Copies of this chain bind each other. A is one copy, B any other.
Amino acid sequence: MHDILFNYMECRSGEKLTERERDLILTGFARKKMRKRQYFLQEGEVCRRLGFVVSGSARMFSVDEKGREHIIHLALESWWLSDQESSTNLTPSRYYIEVLEDSEVLVISVPDAYELRNKSRCFDLTIRALDKYLVVTLQNRLHAAIAMTSEERFADLSNHYPEFLRRFPMTMIASYLGLSPETLSRIRKNSRHRL
């Protein structure tokens, strides 16, 4: 089960893991089976763990005063589960992270992950690369949200994450794009008509 994480790290960091590093990762990351609809994090908790999705899927969302859900992240295999604001500042999270199907997750505590960065160059480079990747993807999504029309945002998502359209229901895709389900339904209908 850890092999997927080993491959991911070597690919992201561009370096080979040593035997010692593999041992550190095996000891550091615990295997966790999660059932559909189980929470990895709940609003109001401090996020003290980092999760790597081996199989399954998840969503991170907030709930506003009117009870409406707003999905900020969707996660599939080889994605990470965490709220960096909460884990960095040790403040209560405003988000829920919910597993959407029976899933397997490798879990490490935030202090252990910090220690591991000092001990394993490959893990440090992986997290460096992950943070850069997060900055880039968040910047792109923010740009889409402020600069693109609803149609362009859906087309952008379809290009970058076609897997999302196969794995997540359209109500979740709409929320992720900041659109109403009705608007997304209209866009999809019109785009099919144009084909």
B-contacting residues of A (Cβ < 8 Å)? 62, 64, 70, 72, 84-85, 88-89, 128, 131-136, 138-143, 145-147, 175-178
| Alpha-carbon separation in the docked complex, A70 to B136 (Å) | 17
**Interface core residue of A133, A140, A146 (most chain B CB under 10 Å):** A146
Copies in the complex: 2
Query: Which residues on the B side are within 8 Å of A62 (C-beta)?
Result: 143, 147
| Alpha-carbon separation in the docked complex, A151 to B175 (Å) | 20
- Asked if residues A136 and B177 are in contact (CB atoms below 8 Å), the reply is no
In angstroms, how far is the closest chain B Cβ from the Cβ of A161? 15
Query: Which residues on the B side are within 8 Å of A138 (C-beta)?
Result: 134-135, 138-139, 142
- The contact sample of 7 A-B pairs, CB cut-off 8 A, is A62-B147, A72-B142, A72-B146, A84-B139, A88-B133, A134-B138, A142-B145
**Interface core residue of A85, A88, A139 (most chain B CB under 10 Å):** A139
